[in-house]
């Protein structure tokens, strides 16, 4: 992850942080602005209110003057004097500035920081003259100080006067500037805290990803038995579970391949051993005959006899191997075989073998027929009878019988010879397994007969079962399915055979 | 003569080895079973053991580990050509190993090498009036010393160790010059002729057509 540029947490971090900071910035700015606008409009209202207070004050003062002098008309000069006096009185105790104009000229003013009838207010008045009830307020900036300037008409004795008041509101702007600075500082610290928060939150949230990642690395490194513990949020838990599932199937496959390779190696090792043992004798004895200066007649017979014996062993091994290879690769060619015919043929082919050993074969044939590959089935039964004959002593009997069960045809080959112990029965169908090597070899056995029979049974979708007791005899049961296998079935059998052969690799 | 113990479960191979070894005069005993072999090795006095690796009961490696303290040199007989097995065999204390199938003379040569290394072989060889002192590297004929080059000496020794056995040029080349020697078999012929001439072995050290040479006893 680190090698591939920007990490996920960094992406999320750099996406989320500016967004958050921007949102907070905009919100505070909006709040500040609204607050400022409200403050300003409050100030304007206050100016307006104070302005009207002045207006009323002026009117009251004039009335008072009139009643004091007893003259209902003060006249232009009298009004002017009263106004000048009033302005100075009114502004004596306040921060307000006040000015009265008539016909654009100033009659009286007090406490004004600048010419009031000027600037933006004047422009505004020229655009739209005041009407009698109106009080107009504008904001004005003069030398970095902020003011509200209010104006209204003041009718006195049929004359129109203009009353201006001014009020400084710089403190409002200063407060606003302070608030902006405070918000900036707040935003700075907020950014820092948010960055820290996001960093740790992301590390915490994404830590299951690292856990999963390191797990995958270990699995990829060959530790297929590793399982991840589901941690973190639902996505990571399901990810862990799926990775576990993947690792399990990889492990199972590896195990299968390993088993296959192991049994292949075992087979090759055994084959090498079985081939080299007779070869060693053949080569050794032949070499002795070649290099020895004088060979006695007894020795010559002994050496040559051993050579022939061992060569026969090799011949039998190669024959059995060919059969096994054929059984591995051939698809059983199933046809309907009448049992009587089959048994007759088998009896005929085993008769020389039985005659040589002085063993008698009892055949128990119920009649009927079955579906099977004729040659493979004959080879299987021949091997079983051959084994039984080898286990029997001269004069003993072997029985070949067959019975029809509900789904299966059950062949059995029984002898009352030496029998086998449990361990031998278990391993009997392993290729090259021989209970008694020296005896098997004397009989020309290579340890392949029963594994060939088991393979033939498997090919037909049947099975081979051995029942034996030491010194009491052995019965081998060969069960084959009774019905003609349908097309799909025979295909599934052949594919099943492939799997089975993978498992046993024999 | 040195006595050799053969542990081999295949009857014919054991018989063949026995016939080969007794041809040059070694005393032999055979045993087909691992457990019995351990017993007999511990009780007996053998100069060399030929040990099959694949045995019923105990395998060759197990036998070797059980009889190590006896200090008898062991040569493994194996059908496995795996280098891994070779290393395992030699590391567990075997002197050598020989892969089945093997030639008669090769087996004898390996045995000779191991016996020489462990000092249990014959110190002196004699044939007619020729005597060889292997320790002193000395050849005498009728009491008089005969001057031989080192290779001629080795050739003579090899023939006397394999008396009455036909030796191929390749085998002689391998035994005297080593397996890596890529000389011609003419080199062998020249040395054999020299040995024959210097020791007056005409009619005794005979050429066998299409095979090699043989030093024949009377």
Report yes or no: B56 and B33 within 8 Å, Cβ to Cβ. yes
Mean pLDDT across A338-366: 89
Mean pLDDT of all residues belonging to chain A: 83
**CA quadruple A376, A381, A382, A383: dihedral positive or negative?**
positive
The whole-number pLDDT of residue A458 equals: 85
Count of CB atoms situated within 10 Å of the CB of A137:
20
Nearest CA in chain B to A281: B13
Put simply, whether A268 touches B (Cβ < 8 Å) is no
Considering the domain A330-504, what is its CATH architecture? 2-Layer Sandwich (3.30)
* A491 vs B37, residue with greater confidence: B37
A310 touches chain B (CB under 8 A): yes
Q: What is the CATH number of domain A224-328?
A: 1.10.287.130
The two domains B3-117 and B124-215 share their CATH topology (first three levels equal): no
Of B10, B79, B165, the CB nearest to A281: B10
Domains A224-328 and A330-504 share a fold: no
* pLDDT at residue A36, as a whole number: 92
Mean pLDDT over the full length of chain B: 85
Q: Which of A259-263, A449-453, B120-124, B193-197 has the highest average model confidence (pLDDT)?
A: B193-197
Residue B49 and residue B5 in contact, taking contact as beta carbons nearer than 8 Å: yes
- What pLDDT was estimated at residue A178? 93
Q: What is the pLDDT of residues B124-160, one digit of tens each?
A: 888 888 999 888 889 999 889 999 999 899 999 889 8
- Across the interface, whether the CB atoms of B101 and A293 are under 8 A apart is answered no
User: What's the topology of domain B124-215?
Assistant: Arc Repressor Mutant, subunit A (1.10.10)
Which residues in A289-323 are b (16+ Cβ under 10 Å) and which e? eebbeebeeebeebbeebbebbeebbebbeebbeb
> Among residues A443, A412, A314, A329, which one has the least CA distance to residue A376?
A329
pLDDT of residue A505: 39
Helices then strands, each counted (H, E), chain B: 8, 12
Question: Could you tell me which CATH number the domain at A8-178 has?
Answer: 3.30.450
The alpha helices in B60-165, defined as continuous H runs, are 60-67, 83-91, 104-117, 150-161
- Domain-by-domain residue ranges, chain B? 3-117, 124-215
Give the per-residue pLDDT at A499: 42
CATH topology of domain B3-117: Rossmann fold (3.40.50)
Report the distance separating Cα A415 and Cα A393, nearest Å: 10
Higher pLDDT, A25 or A101: A25
Contacts 24+ apart (CB under 8 A), A290-296: A290/B166, A290/B211, A291/B104, A291/B105, A291/B165, A291/B166, A291/B167, A291/B211, A291/B214, A292/B23, A292/B164, A292/B165, A292/B166, A293/B164, A293/B165, A293/B166, A293/B214, A293/B216, A294/B164
pLDDT in tens, A44-87: 999 888 888 888 888 888 888 788 877 777 777 777 877 787 77
- Determine, for residues B20 and A284 on separate chains, whether the beta-carbon distance falls below 8 Å: yes
Q: Is B42 on the interface with A (CB under 8 A)?
A: no
Interface test with A, best of B30, B54, B55, B101 (most A CBs within 10 A): B101
For B62-84, what is the mean pLDDT? 81
pLDDT for A34 beyond 90: yes
DSSP state of B128: T
Checking if the pLDDT of A500 tops 60, the result is: no
Whether A159 contacts chain B with CB within 8 A: no
DSSP for residue B199:
T
Mean pLDDT value of segment B185-212: 88
Question: Taking the domains of chain A in order of start, what are their residue ranges?
Answer: 8-178, 224-328, 330-504
Query: What is the ipTM for the molecules in this complex?
Result: 0.79
pLDDT given at position B183: 65
Rounded to whole angstroms, what are the CA distances from A213 to A179, A243, A245, A487?
A: 49, 10, 15, 48
Query: What is the average pLDDT across B186-199?
Result: 90
* Distance (Å) from the alpha carbon of B167 to chain A's nearest alpha carbon: 7
Confidence (pLDDT) at A21:
92
Q: What percent of chain A has pLDDT over 70?
A: 92
User: What chain B residue is nearest to A310 in terms of C-alpha separation?
Assistant: B12
Q: Where residue A308 falls among pLDDT bands split at 50, 70, 90? A: very high
Q: Cβ of B206 under 8 Å from any chain A Cβ?
A: no
Please check the confidence at residue A270 and state whether its pLDDT lies above 50.
yes
CA distance B83 to chain A (A): 14
Residue A37 is predicted with a pLDDT of 93
Who has greater pLDDT, A109 or A479?
Answer: A479
Do residue A273 and residue B23 have CB atoms under 8 angstroms apart? Answer: no
State mean pLDDT over A83-93.
75
Residue with the bigger pLDDT between B93 and A359: it is A359
- Hey, is the C-beta of A284 within 8 angstroms of any chain B C-beta? yes
**Cβ-based contacts of B13 with chain A (< 8 Å):** 277, 280-281, 284
Give me the percent of chain A exceeding a pLDDT of 90. Answer: 21
């Amino acid at each position: 992850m680190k090698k591939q540029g920007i990490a996920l947490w960094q992406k999320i971090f750099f996406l989320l942080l500016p967004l958050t900071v921007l949102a907070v910035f905009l919100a505070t700015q909006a709040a500040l602005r609204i607050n400022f606008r409200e403050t300003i409009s409050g100030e304007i209202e206050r100016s307006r209110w104070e302005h009207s207070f002045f207006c009323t004050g002026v009117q009251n003062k004039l009335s008072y003057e009139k009643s004091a002098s007893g003259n209902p008309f003060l006249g232009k000069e009298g009004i002017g004097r009263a106004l000048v006096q009033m302005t100075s009185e009114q502004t004596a105790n306040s921060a307000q500035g006040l000015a009265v104009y008539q016909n654009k000229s100033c009659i009286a003013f007090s406490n004004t920081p600048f010419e009031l009838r000027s600037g933006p207010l004047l422009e505004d008045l020229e655009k739209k003259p005041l009407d009698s009830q109106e009080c107009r307020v504008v904001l004005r900036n003069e030398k970095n100080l902020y003011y509200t300037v209010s104006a209204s008409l003041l009718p006195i004795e049929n004359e129109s006067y203009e009353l201006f008041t001014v009020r400084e509101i710089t403190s409002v702007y200063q407060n606003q500037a302070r608030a902006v600075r405070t918000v900036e500082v707040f935003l700075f610290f907020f950014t820092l805290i948010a960055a820290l928060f996001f960093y740790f939150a992301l590390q915490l949230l994404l830590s299951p990803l690292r856990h999963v990642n390191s797990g995958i690395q270990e699995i990829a490194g060959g530790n297929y038995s590793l399982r991840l513990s589901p941690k973190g949020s639902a996505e990571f838990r399901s990810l862990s579970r799926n990775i576990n599932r993947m690792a399990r199937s990889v492990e199972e496959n590896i195990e299968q391949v390993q088993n296959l390779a192991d049994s292949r190696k075992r087979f090759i090792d055994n084959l090498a051993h079985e081939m080299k043992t007779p070869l060693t004798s053949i080569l050794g004895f032949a070499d002795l005959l070649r290099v020895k200066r004088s060979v006695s007649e007894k020795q010559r017979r002994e050496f040559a006899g051993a050579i022939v014996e061992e060569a026969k062993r090799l011949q039998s091994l190669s024959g059995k191997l060919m059969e096994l290879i054929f059984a591995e690769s051939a698809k059983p060619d199933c046809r309907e075989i009448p049992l009587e015919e089959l048994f007759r043929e088998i009896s005929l082919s085993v008769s020389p073998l039985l005659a040589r050993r002085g063993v008698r074969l009892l055949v128990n044939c119920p009649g009927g027929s079955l579906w099977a590959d004729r040659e493979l089935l004959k080879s299987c039964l021949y091997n079983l009878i051959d084994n039984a004959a080898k286990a029997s002593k001269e004069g003993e009997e072997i029985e070949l019988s067959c019975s029809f069960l509900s789904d299966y045809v059950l062949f059995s080959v029984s002898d009352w010879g030496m029998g086998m112990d449990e361990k031998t029965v278990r391993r009997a169908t392993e290729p090259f397994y021989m209970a008694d090597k020296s005896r098997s070899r004397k009989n020309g056995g290579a340890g392949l007969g029963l594994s060939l029979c088991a393979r033939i049974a498997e090919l037909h979708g049947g099975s081979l079962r051995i029942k034996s007791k030491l010194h009491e005899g052995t019965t081998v049961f060969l069960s084959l399915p009774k019905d003609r296998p349908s097309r799909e079935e025979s295909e599934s059998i052949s594919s099943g055979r492939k799997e089975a052969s993978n498992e046993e690799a024999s | 003569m040195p006595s050799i113990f053969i542990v081999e479960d295949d009857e014919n191979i054991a018989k063949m080895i026995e016939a080969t070894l007794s041809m040059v005069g070694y005393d032999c005993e055979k045993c087909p079973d691992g457990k019995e072999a351990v017993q007999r090795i511990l009780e007996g006095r053998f100069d060399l053991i030929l040990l099959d690796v694949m045995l019923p009961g105990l395998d060759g490696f197990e036998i070797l580990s059980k009889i190590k303290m006896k200090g008898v040199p062991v040569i493994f007989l194996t059908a496995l050509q795996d280098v891994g097995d070779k290393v395992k065999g030699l590391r567990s204390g075997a002197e050598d190993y020989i892969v089945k199938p093997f030639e008669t003379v090769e087996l004898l040569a390996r045995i000779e090498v191991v016996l020489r290394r462990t000092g249990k072989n014959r110190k002196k060889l004699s044939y007619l009036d020729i005597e060889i002192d292997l320790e002193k590297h000395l050849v005498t004929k009728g009491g008089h010393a005969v001057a031989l080059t080192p290779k001629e000496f080795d050739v003579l020794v090899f023939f006397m160790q394999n008396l009455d056995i036909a030796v191929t040029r390749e085998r002689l080349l391998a035994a005297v010059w080593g397996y890596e020697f890529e000389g011609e078999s003419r080199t062998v012929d020249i040395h054999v002729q020299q040995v024959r001439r210097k020791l007056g072995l005409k009619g005794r050290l005979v050429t066998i057509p299409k095979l090699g040479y043989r030093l024949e006893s009377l």
